[in-house]
Amino acid sequence: MILILIIDGAPDRPIRGKTPLSVARKPNLDSIADLGINGIMDTIAPGIRPGSDTSHLAILGYDPYKFYCGRGPIEAAGIGIDVKPGDVAFRANFATVEGKGRIFDKKVVDRRAGRIENTDELIKALREIDLPVEFFIEKATGHRAAVVFRGEDLSAEVGDTDPKKTGEKVKRCEAFNYKAKKMAEIVNEFMEKAHDVLEKHPINVEREKKGLPKANALLLRGAGSMVKIPSFEERYGLKLSVISATALIKGVGVVVGAKVLTPKGATGNKFTDVKAKVDEALSEIKRSDVVLLHFKATDELGHDGDFEGKKEFIEKLDRELWKFLEKDFCLVVTSDHSTPVSVREHTADPVPIAIKFEGVRRDEVRVFSEFEAYKGGLCRIKGLDLINLLLDLTDLAEKFGA
Ligand code: ZN
Ligand code: ZN
């Protein structure tokens, strides 16, 4: 049916006329461009710098201005919390605090608690805390976690408890308006109780003996309230699968009701097992109508300013893509935004897009790059229009009018 390959942040801005995509040896990506119809895409809108979450929502046909509820709920969903509409989710990190008195008198001395990795036992202990509302806590990568509160009248209009700087006191959660008072009080109660639990936990007693920073506080930030999102299947009548190893993208998949898969060996970085993911996509497309296959490494390498690394990963990915060329499903290759090595952040430069399928109006574009794609027959499209375009090309679209 339809396979959408997203090479996260792969497009770039030229350095002395070259980009990683334009110089990489990538015969398979070039063949897809050659056989297909090409264009450039503003995943959100011209000049709007996309996040990976907002742009993925748009690419899947969900207007992020309507459906985006912040990074907190999406990431929480991505690491396995069943986030429901009305829930308030926070991103969290284990940190080291020091000083006398209660939690809000203490100063943050390490926002990552010495980059602690194994937090399973600490999280288990935190789940025992007694609060007036239900809450969920799950481990993310490294020192990170997510906390979700569920109850009547909870609001995400509250501040962070993470001061985001070392040497500063842990912040008391502030309500931005009257309606958010309850949420702020619960968060502050959670902060106090979490500190008590963590401070005397055997793992921290052990860490102190070894001279390691204690993971004795959980700092919360980025509150977001989950909105009601219709599933992809409800909207389009099609089954969607998302293959990714990145919590944020998996979260987007979860909130739109997709089946989310992370094959063994998929890491979300340059060491990922490309073959495992490509093979998973090939078997999933037999069961699903639309498969979104996501690779993160190019974005990370863009953030690192690593031109050569980005080029090498594109080549590594390309070596497996001949398997897609053999098939006759509708194949889309694109990206969620540019992450230029010169900027080390996402930019709004439109991304190249190529669609290969029987019946597309093949154009004169022969290679997949930022410098060629705009010459193609798709011209310049918006991310939000992509699913409609694909439904039309694959004869799944309904007629508007008589
Ligand atoms: Zn991205
Ligand atoms: Zn990024």
Tell me the mean pLDDT in the region 284-297.
Answer: 98
- At 294 the three-state DSSP class reads strand
Rounded CA separation 338/336 (Å): 7
> Could you tell me the maximum CA-CA distance found in the chain, to the nearest angstrom?
77
Q: What is the pLDDT of residues 164-195, one digit of tens each?
A: 999 999 999 999 999 999 999 999 999 999 99
Ion ligand 2 nearby residues (CB, 5 A): 299
Residue 327, pLDDT score:
95
Ligand nearest to the CA of 56: 1
Ligand nearest to the CA of 8: 1
Q: Indicate the pLDDT class of residue 222, thresholds 50, 70 and 90.
A: very high
Ligand nearest to the CA of 54: 1
Cα of 375 vs centre of ligand 2, distance in Å, is 27
Domains of the chain: 2-68+228-393 (3.40.720.10), 77-224 (no CATH)
Entry pTM:
0.92
Whether 7 contacts 333, CB under 8 Å: yes
Bridge partners for 354 per DSSP: 38, 333
Cα of 246 vs centre of ligand 2, distance in Å, is 11
Rounded CA separation 365/386 (Å): 19
Q: CB-side exposure of 32: number of CA atoms within 13 Å?
A: 30
Residue 141, pLDDT score:
87
C-alpha distance from residue 87 to each of 149, 153, 223, 232, 240 (Å): 6, 10, 10, 21, 24
Cα of 235 vs centre of ligand 1, distance in Å, is 24
Cα of 347 vs centre of ligand 2, distance in Å, is 10
Task: Report residue 227 CA to chain centroid gap.
Answer: 17
CA dihedral (184, 189, 195, 197) positive or negative: negative
Q: What is the CA radius of gyration of the chain?
A: 23
Ligand nearest to the CA of 351: 1
Cα of 309 vs centre of ligand 2, distance in Å, is 15
Q: What is the pLDDT of residues 37-47, one digit of tens each?
A: 999 999 999 99
Task: Report residue 83 CA to chain centroid gap.
Answer: 16
